[in-house]
Amino acid sequence: MPRTYKAVPEAVDAPSAQVAAGLGLPWKSAGLPRLLIGRREWLALPELGVFPVHVKTDSGAYSSSLHAEQIHLTENGRRVRFTTHNHLRESITCEADVVHVRRVRSSTGISSQRIFIQTTARLPGGFEWTIRVSLANRSDMRCPMLLGRSALSGYFLIDTQGTHLLGSKSGLGLRKP
């Protein structure tokens, strides 16, 4: 008769490499510790003046995406002006440099040209890093921003059952001007 094992999460006071070795699991370290992030988190985009924004983490999506409306490129195509929303559905007008324009296939399989910008992302607690996001109409989605694996890679492990593991929106440390 086959045995059934129940996995019970417990705190372990040992380095990950040591725990992995004790369980006979492979271990590869990139030299940085990883933050545990939930399937949904609060995030701020301080360079754009967008805070807080509700984000869905998605390791199945390569790139990140931010809800944008009224997208207008400058005459030379180097800057973009658009409108997005915070968690209260307040409109925020943003302007940023265009990093590149390329085709992106959505989860529905439809491919379209998207404008990509680069900005700083901030999590509750103050962790900041630079991400690239495409601008897309996400008005039908629950979260106005999707954080894809290129933004997550090297920094995070995803707990698919957890939400807001890194803190509340008040932990972003930002106040409205």
Largest CA distance in the chain: 72
Q: How far apart are CA 69 and CA 79, in angstroms?
A: 15
> Model confidence over 42-69: pLDDT tens digits?
999 999 999 899 999 999 999 999 999 9
Predicted model pTM: 0.79
Among the residues of 13-171, which ranges form H helices? 16-22, 149-152
119 near 96, Cβ under 8 Å? yes
All structural domains of the chain, each given as residue ranges with its CATH number in brackets, are: 40-158 (2.40.70.10)
Coil, strand or helix: which one is 83? strand
Instruction: Summarize the confidence of residues 5-33 as an average pLDDT.
Output: 62
User: Cα-flanking dihedrals φ and ψ of residue 143, to 5°?
Assistant: -110, 130
| Structure token digits, residue 143 | 């979260």
For the stretch 74-108, pLDDT in tens is: 888 899 999 999 888 889 999 999 999 999 988 78
